[in-house]
Structure 1
Amino acid sequence: MLQVLEIGADPAEVGRARRWARARLAGCGIGQDEPLAETVVLLISELVTNAVVHTGCPAVLRMLLPHPHSGAGTDAGTGAVRLEVDDASSRAPRPRHADGDDTNGRGLELVSGLADRWGWHRESGGKRIWCELGPATEA
């Protein structure tokens, strides 16, 4: 089940994206206190924050979730939850290493640690960063 949300260039949109994701997860039978939901919301927060902060432009969030009638979690439907964020920058994402008290630089490190797979590719006029949780899908 594909869900799509347009994100404005305002950093306050990150909170709206988290609320939107929680509602969509609940619609698929994934409770907000389940580890999968917490991980998905954190990944969305990081990906949307990166898109808004580093481009200053609107973005598009896509979430591919298990079908609500095939069971909850990553065992349902295709077996994976996929998140994608398109932004208007063609600049490659650059994982950084944050030191001790640094307040930035952990986003892609968190994505890499929490997601089973992640990557990116150029799109016309920008790029798409994606990540997946659960068994690999054919794409």
Structure 2
Amino acid sequence: MVVPHHPAGARLARRRLAEELTDVVPPPLLADLVAVLAELVGNAVRHADPLPGGVVRVAWRLRAALGGQQVQLRVTDGGAAAGPTMRVADTDAADGRGLHIVSGLADRWGVERDGLGQSVWAEFDPAEITRSDLAVAG
């Protein structure tokens, strides 16, 4: 999907993701997916240029895997002079924790650059989902 390169874009992406995956993935995973997508779109809006047309492209892909669904989120923007990096935020800082949240919730994340911009992706493995669900239930 395409959302505006604007803070409202994160809200639209979260809503659409939740609508499409509510009956597909367990609720704890959906909460993590929504949080990570919000961080990735928010970072694209704050730190990167838009794609042509003033937009950010958002995508998710599910793959059947042993133990459940593997999910990949991907946010593509026009890129920035410096790529995404984890920052050290003071306890009083209002921002600077986004990629720490992504890293803490996703099994893997990374950045891919091409001639059009950059994509930041995050992957969630079903084995982790199963352990999380058991921990919450127990």
TM-score (norm 1): 0.79
Contact 2:32-2:105 within 8 A present in 1 as well? yes
- What is the 5 A alignment of 1:1-139? 5-28=1-24, 30=25, 34-57=27-50, 58-66=55-63, 75-76=67-68, 79-90=69-80, 91-134=82-125
Asked if the contact 2:49/2:79 (under 8 Å) is kept, the reply is: no
Q: CA RMSD in A?
A: 2.1
- Structure 2 CA distance, aligned partners of 1:123 and 1:56? 14
Moved beyond 3 Å, runs of 4+? none
CA contact (8 A) 1:61 1:84 kept: yes
Unaligned runs of 5+ in 2: 128-138
Offset of residue 95 of structure 1: 1.1
Q: Number of paired residues? A: 122
With the length of structure 2 as denominator, give the TM-score of the two structures.
0.79
C-alpha distance in 1 between matches for 2:31 and 2:42: 16
Counterpart Cα distance in 1 of 2:67 and 2:41:
26
- The separation in 2 between residues aligned to 1:53 and 1:75, in whole angstroms, is 36
Identity %: 37
**Alpha carbons 1:97, 1:109 under 8 Å: kept:** no
Q: Which protein is richer in helix relative to its size?
A: 2
